[in-house]
Amino acid sequence: MRKPFIAGNWKMYKTPVEAAAFVRELKDSLKDVSGVDVAVCPPFPALWPVKEALEGSDIALGAQNMHFEKEGAFTGEVSPAMLQDLGVKYVILGHSERRACFGETDELINQKIKAAFTWGLNPIFCVGETLEERERGITKAVVEIQVLKGLAEVTAEQAENLTIAYEPVWAIGTGKTATPEDAQEVCRFIRELLVNLFGKEIAEKVRIQYGGSVKPENIKELIVQPDIDGALVGGASLKVDSFTAIVKGSI
């Protein structure tokens, strides 16, 4: 039985001061909740204050991106070593906004995923098709390429600490959610790919989140699907009430 995993992807929202105040409230709101893993992924400048504010709570800290090198002349980048030093547990990699706005390729994402494992960070690896790809009926082919390229050279041992987020691009920030059945079908397909890559035992341990307009109103119908083990939440993770309701709805 996989433990549900709800992660908040804050994107480029909340200053460090706002972020710390938010998690102090969130900590209180989730204090009696168990049976679910929860993470918040603030922007880089808020990681340290959020880490301090989370002290004494089970809420984990995540980042939204990183470079794959330990250090170097890469102006504006943040390294896995820096995230590890900060006590970051998870790192979102391959988000569709990184792919679309910053030109991240499957090959680059693969380098980042391997670097994350090297540094003891647990990747939340995002995959998903665009609306055009769905309408052309190539959703599975697109997701298959993303999964296979993204996970090239990842070992079964490493994959135990992997989370995959299936996020149809057309459902992100649009208010449109995939039907639970459609989301399940792709998540089931992803798990089959994982079976081929890492064997059944490991594939059954990997948590697959759904992402794309997850809200308190739809978390329940998503989480009951056999291959959906949680959610990567954008907009609804920015308010304590809605994020708390999603976390509680996932148990």
Residues engaged in binding ligand PGA (CB under 6 A): 9, 167, 172-173, 211-214, 232-236
Catalytic residue among 97, 129, 133, 167: 167
Q: Are 150 and 125 in contact (CB under 8 A)?
A: yes
CA distance 139 to 5: 24
CA 98 to chain centre: 13
CB 36, CB 250: distance < 8 Å = yes
**Angle formed by the axes of helices 180-198 and 139-150, to 10°?**
40
Q: If you write DSSP's letter for every residue of 214-226 in order, what string do you get?
A: --TTTHHHHHTST
Residue in the shown chain whose Cβ atom is closest to ligand PGA: 234
Q: Which of 18, 69, 95, 217 is catalytic?
A: 95
11 is in an annotated binding site: yes
62 vs 234, which CB is nearer to ligand PGA? Answer: 234
Question: Known binder of ligand: residue 9?
Answer: yes
Q: Could you tell me the smallest distance in angstroms from the CB atom of residue 121 to ligand PGA?
A: 18
Q: Which of 127, 71, 116, 52 is nearest to 90 (CA)?
A: 116
Of 222, 212, 235, 236, the closest CA to residue 4 belongs to 222
Kindly state the tokens that stand for 120: 């003891």
Is 167 catalytic? The answer is yes
Q: How many CB atoms lie within 10 A of CB 15?
A: 13
Q: Which amino acid is at 190?
A: I
Tell how far CA 67 is from the center of its chain: 17
Instruction: Confirm whether residue 96 is marked as ligand binding.
Output: no
Residue 130: CB minimum distance to ligand PGA, A: 14
Pick 64 or 158: Cβ nearer ligand PGA:
64
Nearer to ligand PGA, 13 or 189 (CB): 13
CB of 10 to ligand PGA, least distance (A): 10
Task: Give me the least distance between CB of 196 and ligand PGA, in Å please.
Answer: 26
Report whether 196 belongs to an annotated binding site: no
Q: Given the structure tokens 């709570």, which residue do they identify?
A: 57
Please indicate if the annotation marks 173 as binding a ligand.
yes
Q: Which is nearer to ligand PGA, 19 or 171 (CB)?
A: 171
Residue 67 annotated as catalytic: no
Q: In angstroms, how far is the first alpha carbon of the chain from the final one?
A: 12
Give the residue with the Cβ less far from ligand PGA, 202 or 233. 233
CB of 210 to ligand PGA, least distance (A): 10
Binding-site residues from annotation for substrate: 9-11, 173, 213, 234-235
| Residues classed as catalytic | 95, 167
